[in-house]
């Protein structure tokens, strides 16, 4: 009996070992061979397109190149380097892929002048119609746990790195079977002598297994599994494959809550440039960090990191990887680690949040985390930087007023032509992944609604912006018996005013009277066409903006107005490409005409007057001279929200300022958000609002106060566009000045003849 039990036990041991071996084998086959490790989707900004005539200054281009990790040199340029000579910039652009297309490395010769690109040539002096810089990597879409990495292919890993890793971490890597007994023994002896763990003795294979499969707990069973798995890995894979996996997998630092894995990402994290461009001392520093990313953190413990880097350089020299001269020239170099601030500048949590939300419509989290997707977005780092600076700076300034509750803000910048989101700021702590006010702060829009009221009137054909409307007090009895008596901000009624003046000066009484005249239902339907759903039943307070929208929704509404009445959902993602470079999905431009182009054009001429004569005029001092813009202020009840929405030809900016607890902030749209808006428009390269008039619109000059046709030379003349049938009769006088009779008669005859 006892004998049989012994036989069973003796048999069971190899069976169990075999079973365990098979399990390890299977697990490695399943997880490692499939390369099914988590490769979070890489997210890229919009590439900077270069072409003759593009608005761009030499300073902006220099900043953009630095953001992309290009280094300035005075001598010969190579990939990743640029040379600036006054207004001429020569860049050796790196090779990259974009949206499935491959772009080889290329020398670009860019001449700038007058705020534009004057000439663009390649290295041979042939002119190029268009060229692009590689898009900036702005982040990764993560699964729930915080890991970050950039996966490198075999040709992207410098040999000096792999050879140095062997020299420092695992000298017999090319010969052992995953386990190096001699090294382990030597390490054990050294540790006993030192009374502390100074040497690991783990092979690169074991380090890889530990990082990839095992938890960080130090136990005996773990050590055995580690060795067994290393052995299996070596049996199944070549040394090159194991080395590549190691380079992509190993833990090299901590970026806030995100673990930095792999040398590709570590190179970006520490030096702000790709691995292939690292100098000898930089490679040595990364190899030094492997041993203890926290202990040898070059930012927090620079002396320790420097000492270990010197040791690594010595080992590299002793192994014959670098010569004595190279050693000497590199050992005294500075660590060269980029500051955390410059890295934080490239962290756009609010925009990434938007990207994630837009992708979630088509992909689940698993897909985004595990398929190695590349996501090409619309973000413009330059515009984003301008928006962040403007909001943060302006909030700081406004906050200094005594007794003001804590201010917060949000900014959305779009390209009104195609509804692409150029920049998005979700709050004053721009690097903080918190409440995204641009997408989630739903606030009363106040007078931002007024253009919709005027548009509804204009589309009827009976009204123009020259029409006189009553800016007189009104009291309404609501369904529940309460009364409502709106007032103008300045608290005085102006009698008869032109519609253009009512819009420009944001007169509440005139707007309410106009809205009641054309009917709430008509206004609501116009809003619905523009993509805003007012709550029903409708109340007259809708006419003064008692409707809650997020800054993002306001940007969508105004983008439709700015681009001539074509509605387009805002877009943050252009294309998604899979791990093999195939385009999975393009988010093509889609438009829908939702308003009459003539009416929208006329409305926009009115919004230009907001900036010239009305509530937007204070922006003038912050804008370049001669820049035509259009926009509208918004102030909610009790001064709780300060809004401004406005646009030039190619930038639409919505700015909001308020308090998270909805307290009164004592700011109007003009004294708060307008300042942020103007700073942004003033600092991006942009052109005057210039939508060409549609066929049915006739340009006329009317008197701002009387609404009669007038001469362009009259002081109160404003240029509008309206259907010929709506052109008002000619004024007898030019305000108080007499108009020249001759021109008036000519004008009258011309009008009659048409």
Partner 1 sequence: MTSDERAARCAARCATRRMIPRAVSTLVLLSCATVAACTTSPFGYPSPQPGSSTRAPSGSARPPEAEPAPRSNASAALLEQGREARAAGRYAEATASLERALRIDPNNPLLWIELAEIKAADGDRSQAREMARKALTLAAGNPAIESRARRLL
Q: Give ∠ CA 275-280-285 in degrees, rounded to 5.
A: 75
Q: Which is nearer to partner 1, 276 or 591 (CB)?
A: 591
Nearest CA-CA partner of 678 in 411, 373, 444: 411
Contacting residues toward partner 1, per CB under 8 A: 49, 51-54, 99, 116, 119, 125-130, 415, 417-418, 420, 564, 566, 575, 583, 586, 588-593, 597, 649-650, 690-695
Q: Which is nearer to partner 1, 127 or 737 (CB)?
A: 127
Tell me the C-alpha distance between 611 and 504, whole Å: 8
Number of C-alpha atoms within 13 angstroms, CB side, residue 184? Answer: 12
Give the other-Cβ count within 10 Å of 314's Cβ: 16
Q: Which is nearer to partner 1, 206 or 595 (CB)?
A: 595
Token pair in block for residue 4: 């049989």
Q: Which is nearer to partner 1, 51 or 103 (CB)?
A: 51
Tell me the C-alpha distance between 378 and 143, whole Å: 23
What is the smallest separation between the CB atom of 223 and partner 1, expressed in angstroms?
Answer: 53
Token pair in block for residue 712: 């362009």
Give the other-Cβ count within 10 Å of 695's Cβ: 7
Q: Give ∠ CA 305-306-308 in degrees, rounded to 5.
A: 65
Residue 477's Cβ-count burial label (10 Å; 0-12, 13-18, 19+) is exposed
What is the smallest separation between the CB atom of 256 and partner 1, expressed in angstroms?
Answer: 34
Q: Which is nearer to partner 1, 131 or 448 (CB)?
A: 131
For residue 120, the SS3 value is strand
Q: What is the DSSP letter of 701?
A: E
Residue 68 has phi, psi (to 5 degrees) of -85, 0
Give the other-Cβ count within 10 Å of 540's Cβ: 17
Q: Is the dihedral of CA 216, 219, 220, 222 positive or negative?
A: negative
Beta bridge partners of 103: 96
Q: Which is nearer to partner 1, 132 or 241 (CB)?
A: 132
Locus of tokens 């050992």? 331
What is the smallest separation between the CB atom of 585 and partner 1, expressed in angstroms?
Answer: 10
Q: Which is nearer to partner 1, 85 or 690 (CB)?
A: 690
What is the smallest separation between the CB atom of 609 and partner 1, expressed in angstroms?
Answer: 22
Contact 604, 561 (CB under 8 A): yes
Nearest CA-CA partner of 482 in 546, 541, 548, 542: 541
What is the smallest separation between the CB atom of 422 and partner 1, expressed in angstroms?
Answer: 11
Tell me the C-alpha distance between 64 and 69, whole Å: 9
What is the smallest separation between the CB atom of 129 and partner 1, expressed in angstroms?
Answer: 4
Tell me the C-alpha distance between 265 and 150, whole Å: 5
What is the smallest separation between the CB atom of 658 and partner 1, expressed in angstroms?
Answer: 32
CA distances from 83 to 90, 94, 219 (A): 5, 14, 55
Q: What is the DSSP letter of 73?
A: -
Q: Which is nearer to partner 1, 96 or 489 (CB)?
A: 96
What is the smallest separation between the CB atom of 629 and partner 1, expressed in angstroms?
Answer: 16
Beta strand residue intervals within 416-531, DSSP E? 420-425, 443-444, 468-471, 476-477, 483-484, 495-498
What is the smallest separation between the CB atom of 419 and partner 1, expressed in angstroms?
Answer: 11
Tell me the C-alpha distance between 52 and 41, whole Å: 34
Tell me the C-alpha distance between 725 and 118, whole Å: 45
Residue 88 has phi, psi (to 5 degrees) of -110, 130
Enzyme catalytic residues:
169, 447
Q: Which is nearer to partner 1, 417 or 744 (CB)?
A: 417
What is the smallest separation between the CB atom of 439 and partner 1, expressed in angstroms?
Answer: 24
Q: Which is nearer to partner 1, 51 or 435 (CB)?
A: 51
């Amino acid at each position: 009996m006892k004998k049989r039990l012994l036989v069973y036990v003796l048999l069971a041991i190899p069976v169990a070992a075999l079973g365990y071996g098979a399990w390890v084998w299977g697990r490695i086959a399943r997880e490692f061979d499939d390369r099914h490790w988590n490769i979070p989707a890489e997210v890229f900004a919009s590439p900077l397109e270069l072409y003759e005539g593009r608005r761009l200054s030499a300073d902006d281009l220099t900043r953009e190149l630095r953001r992309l990790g290009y280094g300035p040199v005075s001598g010969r340029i190579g990939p990743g380097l640029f040379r600036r000579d006054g207004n001429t910039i020569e860049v050796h652009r790196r090779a990259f892929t974009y949206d499935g297309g491959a772009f080889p490395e290329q020398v670009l010769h860019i001449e700038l002048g007058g705020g534009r690109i004057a000439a663009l040539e390649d290295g041979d002096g042939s002119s190029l119609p268009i060229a692009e810089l590689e898009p900036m990597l702005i982040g990764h879409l993560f699964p729930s746990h915080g890991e970050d990495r950039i996966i490198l292919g075999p040709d992207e890993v410098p040999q000096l790195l792999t050879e140095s890793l062997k020299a420092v971490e695992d000298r017999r890597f090319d010969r052992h079977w995953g386990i190096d007994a001699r090294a382990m023994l030597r390490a054990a002896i050294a540790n006993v002598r030192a009374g502390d763990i100074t040497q690991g003795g783990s092979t690169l294979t074991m380090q890889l297994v530990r990082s990839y499969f095992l938890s960080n707990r130090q136990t005996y069973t773990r050590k055995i599994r580690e060795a067994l798995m290393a052995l299996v890995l070596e049996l199944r894979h070549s040394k090159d494959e194991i080395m590549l996996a190691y380079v992509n997998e190993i833990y090299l630092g901590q970026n806030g809550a995100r673990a930095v894995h792999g040398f590709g990402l570590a190179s970006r994290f520490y030096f702000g440039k790709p691995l292939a461009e690292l100098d000898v001392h930089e490679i040595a520093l990364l190899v030094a960090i492997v041993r203890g990313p926290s202990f040898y953190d070059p930012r927090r413990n620079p002396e320790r990191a420097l000492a270990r880097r010197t040791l690594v350089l010595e080992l590299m020299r002793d192994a014959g990887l670098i010569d004595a001269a190279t050693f000497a020239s590199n050992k005294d170099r500075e660590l060269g680690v980029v500051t955390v601030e410059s890295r934080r500048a490239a962290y756009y949590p609010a925009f990434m949040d938007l990207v994630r939300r837009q992708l979630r419509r088509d992909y689940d989290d698993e897909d985004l985390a595990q398929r190695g997707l590349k996501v090409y977005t619309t973000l413009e780092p330059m515009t984003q930087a301008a928006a962040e600076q403007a909001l943060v700076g302006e909030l700081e300034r406004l906050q200094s007023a005594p007794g003001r509750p804590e201010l917060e803000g949000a900014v959305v910048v779009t390209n009104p032509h195609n509804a692409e989101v150029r920049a998005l700021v979700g709050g004053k702590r721009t690097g903080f992944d918190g409440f995204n006010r641009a997408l989630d702060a739903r606030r009363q829009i106040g007078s931002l609604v007024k253009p919709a009221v005027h548009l509804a009137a204009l589309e009827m054909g009976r009204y123009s912006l020259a029409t006189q409307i009553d800016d007189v007090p009104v009291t309404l009895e609501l369904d529940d018996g309460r009364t409502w008596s709106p007032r103008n901000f300045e608290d005085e009624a102006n009698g008869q005013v032109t519609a253009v003046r009512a819009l420009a000066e944001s007169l509440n009484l005139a707007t309410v009277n106009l809205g009641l005249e054309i009917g709430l239902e008509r206004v609501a339907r116009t809003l619905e066409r523009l993509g805003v759903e007012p709550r029903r039943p409708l109340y007259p307070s809708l006419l003064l903006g008692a409707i809650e929208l997020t800054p993002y929704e306001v940007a969508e509404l105004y983008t439709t107005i700015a681009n001539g009445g074509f509605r387009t959902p805002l877009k943050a993602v252009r294309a998604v490409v899979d791990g093999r470079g195939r385009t999975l999905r393009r988010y093509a431009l889609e438009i829908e005409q939702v308003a009459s182009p003539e009416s929208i054009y006329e409305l926009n001429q009115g919004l230009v007057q907001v900036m010239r004569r009305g509530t937007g005029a204070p922006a003038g001092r912050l804008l370049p001279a001669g820049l035509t813009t259009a926009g509208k202020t918004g102030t909610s009840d009790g001064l709780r929200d300060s809004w401004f929405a406005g646009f030039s030809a190619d930038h639409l900016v919505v700015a909001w300022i308020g308090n998270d607890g909805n307290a009164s902030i004592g700011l109007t749209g003009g004294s708060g958000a307008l300042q942020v808006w103007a700073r942004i428009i003033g600092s991006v390269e942009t052109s005057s609002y210039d939508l060409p008039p549609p066929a049915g619109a006739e340009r006329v000059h009317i008197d701002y106060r009387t609404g009669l046709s007038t001469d362009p030379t009259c002081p109160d003349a404003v240029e509008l566009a309206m259907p010929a049938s709506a052109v008002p009769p000619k004024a007898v006088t030019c305000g108080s000045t007499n108009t020249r009779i001759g021109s008036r008669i000519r004008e009258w005859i011309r009008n009659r003849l048409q």
